[in-house]
Amino acid sequence: MRRFVTLIICCILYNAALQAQPCITIATGFSKDINNRNETFDHIPVSLQWKPSPFKNTAFFIKVDYDIPVSGTATGYAYTLNPSLPPEVNLQESIRPYIFTASLGWRIHLFNTSKNSFYIDLLPLGVCNQSITVSYKNYDKANYDILNPDISIHYTSLVASAGIVYRMPLEKERNSLLFMLHVQSALLDNTGKYALSYKFIAPLQLTVGYNFNYNRKK
Q: CA–CA distance from 92 to each of 136, 159, 205 (Å)?
A: 6, 30, 27
Judged against a pLDDT cut of 70, whether residue 1 lies above it is answered with no
Judged against a pLDDT cut of 50, whether residue 9 lies above it is answered with yes
Determine contact, residues 190/199, Cβ cutoff 8 Å: yes
pTM for the predicted model, two decimal places: 0.79
**How many angstroms separate the CA atoms of 109 and 121, rounded?**
9
Given pLDDT bands bounded at 50, 70 and 90, which one contains residue 167? very high
Class of domain 2-213: mainly beta
Question: Where do the domains of the chain lie?
Answer: 2-213
β partners of residue 24: 50, 212
Amino acid 55: pLDDT: 63
